[in-house]
Amino acid sequence: MPRIKALDQESFLPPAKEKETSKEGEEKPKEILEMRGSGFFKGDKLIGWLDEETTRGYLWVRGEVKGGVVVVENPVDPNAFISLEIKSSKSKIIPRIDKENIQIDINVSSSLNLVENAGSINVENEKTIRDLQQRAAEAIKKEIQKAVIKAQETKSDFLGMGEVVRALYPKVWEGLNWSEEVPFVDINIDVQVDVEEAAMTLGPVMLPSQRLK
């Protein structure tokens, strides 16, 4: 369930000068509604809240990330960051049951566009692109891990892993108390990222003499 927070519009406005202070009877700025994470359920009971990163971790697992930006550190300039726009994503939950051991693989793949390059970096270098892809994959994996940890801590499978177990292993499912099993499931996360384009990338302007160095 999306979580909506009411924010005072004044927090989005520049500080008012003494002559611009509101007069008595003047209409005050209205509140602004903003999406701030989500609430999750166990059955039909709301049991907790997820912050923005954990919510997107949930969406990665469900294959429902429709857009947004992944920000990673510049591989050649630790003081700068690179923004990667999410172009598409898909996911697959694969359960594996061996005797009493339940393992679940969460495989996520995403296609990203490099839209903002802060700092100096050669986006035509294959090694650099591979580094960016690895950094983006690690960032996405961290978001998924936060969602997995929350699900296991609260014994609430809001990620939908049990749906797949029930569909593929109906006989095993009949003997499971899934909410009690969730904390002990061995969950493996694999994220694959493909940086497709860098056409809109902006980098710092360098003199010809600097480019030769």
Please, what is the angle between helix 126-154 and helix 52-62, to 10°?
100
Q: Report how far Cα 209 is from the mean position of its chain's Cα atoms.
A: 41
> Which string of DSSP letters, residue by residue, matches 56-73?
HHHHHHHT-----EEEEE
The whole-number mean pLDDT for each consecutive block of 10 residues of the chain, a chain of 213 residues, reads 68 50 55 69 79 92 93 85 93 90 96 80 79 95 96 93 95 92 96 77 41 40
Q: Are residue 107 and residue 12 in the same domain, yes or no?
A: no
Residue 179 has what pLDDT?
A: 92
d(CA 207, CA 181): 61
Amino acid letter for position 15: P
Domain that holds residue 23: 1-48
Residue 79 has what pLDDT?
A: 82
Q: Are residue 116 and residue 81 in the same domain, yes or no?
A: yes
Query: pLDDT digits over 21-32, tens only?
Result: 455 555 555 567
Domain count, the chain: 2
Burial 148-169 (b: 16+ CB within 10 A, else e): bebbbebebbbbebbeebeeee
Hey, is 137 helix, strand or coil?
Answer: helix
Please state the φ and ψ torsions of residue 180, each to the nearest 5 degrees: -85, -20
Q: Are residue 23 and residue 113 in the same domain, yes or no?
A: no
Q: Are residue 10 and residue 21 in the same domain, yes or no?
A: yes
Task: Please state the pTM of the whole predicted model.
Answer: 0.78
Q: 150: domain CATH number? A: 3.30.300.210
